[in-house]
Amino acid sequence: MNVPLLDLKAQYRVIKPEVMSAIEAVCDEQGFVLGPRVVAFEEAAAQYIGSRYAIGCASGSDALLLSLMAMDVKAGDEVITIPFTFFATASVISRLGAKPVFVDIQPDTFNIDPALIERAITPRTKAIIPVHLFGQCADMAAINEIAKRKNIYVIEDACQAIGASQGNKRAGILGDTGCFSFFPSKNLGGFGDGGLITTNDKALADSMSMLRVHGSQVRYLHEAIGFNSRLDALQAAVLQVKLKYLDQWTEGRRRNAERYQQLFAQARVDGWVTVPPTVAGNFHVYNQYTVRVQKRDELRNFLKDNGVGSEVYYPLPMHLQQCYRDLGYQKGAFPISEKAADEVLSLPVYPELTEPQLRYVVEVIESFCKRG
């Protein structure tokens, strides 16, 4: 049996007529950058997330960068985040000449450990970027409490967490800004790159809207040194169609995650596979279903030989990356992140997976464990 990590064609087959007519409409209009299609999508996204403002931009990475720029993060400043994340979370800090200061994660959720944040704060700390890794929100109550007391900003890296929530609030309104990515493999994926920033703060919203178009509100008059990070009308039109289906797809991911939980509990994989927990009050959207396993690389090859796709998100923490050797971190600096990097494996969890496919994935893992 073949079980790919992700099958975007299965999703496309269902929505093809609707998406194609939206694309055709944009082509007929010949308006491709920002414009009414982008505004309509921004409004729909703001309503979905529950934010006062939503600003489309070119990628999730740019959403993070625009947030930092609007908060005036610059050379000499420090921004706290986790080393166990996608590269962009850290690189945007460095691109502004500021310094990423890493804090280790919690072993169960893979999210930032709030108990470690306070000792990483210095007079130069401008912001914290918690990442809602794999689709589950970081402990925002604890993070916001520290940030308020220390008067620093909170930027949610919600690139993997559109539709996730904590308490009765969705990811994107749990901090000062929320950053989303529409990279095709995200839960809401475009037909190319795209991103969005949400906020309830008018000053930040105005600033980010201006920075994404070269720091200009009135054409050819520049009040800040912005850059070009706009959302295309074609992407907005596709995303607007897909947004209607997002909750239904999220339910599919959650159903599959729950089924894995049951199947792994019944399988003889004791001590080999640790399934991802959901913290009380969190609504997990499973952009990835990430387990911890022993002999991870061997298992990954075994899965591949048996037709099952999997991926390691992420194999090398940021503090050990070559480009960050100047930060001076040593191996052992963030033991929980380093251990996670050695043990995590993301399994197929996309909504269109079938019951036989889910069973097959668990059977293959069980037979690997039986071999010892």
Q: Is 70 exposed, middle or buried (0-12, 13-18, 19+ CB in 10 A)?
A: buried
Distances, alpha carbon 28 to alpha carbons 20, 38, 105, 156, 233, in Å: 12, 16, 49, 37, 12
Residue 95: its H or E element: helix 87-95
Nearer to ligand PLP, 186 or 362 (CB): 186
The dihedral built from the CA positions of residue 177, 183, 189 and 195, taken in this order, carries a sign that is positive
**Site membership for ligand PLP, residue 189 (CB under 6 A):** no
Residue 157 touches ligand PLP, criterion: CB under 6 A: yes
Q: Smaller CB distance to ligand PLP: residue 53 or 183?
A: 183
At its nearest, how many Å lie between ligand PLP and the CB of residue 361? Answer: 22
Q: Rounded distance, CA 263 to CA 360, Å?
A: 10
Q: Tokens 């061997």 map to which residue? A: 298
Q: Which segment (85-93, 108-116, 227-235, 250-258) binds ligand PLP by CB under 6 A?
A: 85-93
Work out whether 181 is an interface residue with ligand PLP (CB under 6 A). Answer: yes
59 binds ligand PLP (CB under 6 A): yes
Which region among 4-12, 81-89, 200-208, 228-236 touches ligand PLP (by CB under 6 A)?
Answer: 81-89
SS3 content of the chain, % helix, strand, coil (to 5): 45, 15, 40
131: contact with ligand PLP by CB under 6 A = yes
Give min distance, CB of 338 to ligand PLP, in A: 18
Cβ nearer to ligand PLP, comparing 313 with 368: 313
**# residues near ligand PLP by CB under 6 A:** 15
DSSP 277-289: P--TTEE---SSE
Binding site for ligand PLP (CB under 6 A): 59-61, 85-86, 88-89, 131, 157, 159-160, 181, 183, 193, 195
